[in-house]
A and B are shown apart, each in its own frame.
Chain A
């Protein structure tokens, strides 16, 4: 586990079945209880995962989002990706090729962050400008 700014990167264990998933969740719980947790789960070492492992990932995502945070996956192996697709949860997670990319995605501004600088009620043109235009 290491941190990059506000983002915490955690490596998942090789086996992610019921027992390992429960143990891992116990370790991760303090991080999930922070305000706005920003987590990246590095799946590069995962070799076996089952439905309990996927349940654990979903639980973590739910907890993070409850606290206005987010959880992203990195370095998901083809086998793990197939399992996520099989269980229809692939579309719930943001998946990145590397942990660094996932960390950077937390720091990046949203695409339309600069567009709405004016309040919604401010007219684009004043009354005088409108008269002049007409």
Chain B
């Protein structure tokens, strides 16, 4: 008897909720696209060094799932590889019609001896005991069991692969399936503010997710290759991602997270803010209660997105990564904190894959 999993990465909106409808959470479904802080799905954005979809895949594999299949909506396949690590027993597939791909994958699982399968949307981060959910489903003897929490239905099912052959996907994943109540931490990644909530919850210990990298002092997490000026001030809990540069006189505080490849210039204050990947924050700025990505800033207090066409304030560092090395000359007294015991693994190779490459998921060391 085997156990499989299908994780669907959609184009911002929830593909299951669109078809099944009337999920209380689906009221916010289109919001992520309206706000347009980010162009791609929120699940592919690194929070504390790793994407939520990667955390979910890891959780599934830890549960003892034999095979995990990621079905990526064609509309978001160009966005990039959301995996820092690499997993054996996991594969990815880009599909124009994810619901058809789910159906085909269930049939394939059934033929290859996998009896039950978790089906979930990558938009839902759930920290429930998946084995308990599976046992609950098995005892109920139904075709499918759907999880829900205090805020409504979740896009997480356990499906009997053999029985699922006789039912359409729409019927299979209908809201009237047997329900399993989730008491643990849940984050529906519908809006960029949920990324911020996830970072705060994780750094405050309200969920099991842990920041990647090394905890150099209590509550201060620093990832591989981060450079922190000795006159920069970090007030725990904070997270500094891979290759982050924090310059002189900056203050980073109140559960702020500066993700991989970002830079915070001299004298700036990052307060209760997530600076997403490859973002440069200019000199002497006050970024408070916000999510920043490239040259866009979502003010959580005022609930508005600001696109700033002024490279002195905010900008993306993707294009000038090579030239940025000139900024750290020997006279800048940059103290380099490299987490030496964090072994450079296959994960770093996966980052260098060509943009949009989903297929090469290598075996983990």
Chain A interface residues (CB < 8 Å from chain B): 17, 48, 50-52, 78-79, 81-83, 85-88
Contacts and interface: CB of A to CB of B under 8 A. Distances in A.
B199 to A, nearest CB: 20
24 contacts: A17-B309, A50-B308, A50-B309, A50-B310, A51-B310, A51-B313, A78-B299, A78-B302, A79-B304, A79-B306, A81-B302, A82-B290, A82-B297, A82-B306, A83-B308, A86-B285, A86-B286, A86-B287, A86-B297, A86-B313, A87-B286, A87-B313, A88-B284, A88-B286
> Which of A81, A83, A85 has the largest count of B CB atoms less than 10 A from its CB?
A85
A93 B285 CA distance: 17
Given A78-B299, A82-B297, A48 B309 contact: yes
Contacts of B299: 78, 82
Nearest to B290: A82
Nearest to B298: A82
Interface residues of B, number: 17
B288 interface: yes
6 A-B pairs closest in CB distance:
A50-B310, A78-B302, A78-B304, A82-B299, A88-B286, A79-B306
Interface in B269-307: 284-288, 290, 297, 299, 302-304, 306
Interface in B291-338: 297, 299, 302-304, 306, 308-310, 312-313
B288 to A, nearest CB: 7
Contacts of A52: 310
Contact of B285 (A48, A50, A78, A88): A88
Contacts of A86: 285-287, 297, 313
Nearest to A85: B286
Nearest to B292: A86
B304 A82 contact: yes
B303 to A, nearest CB: 8
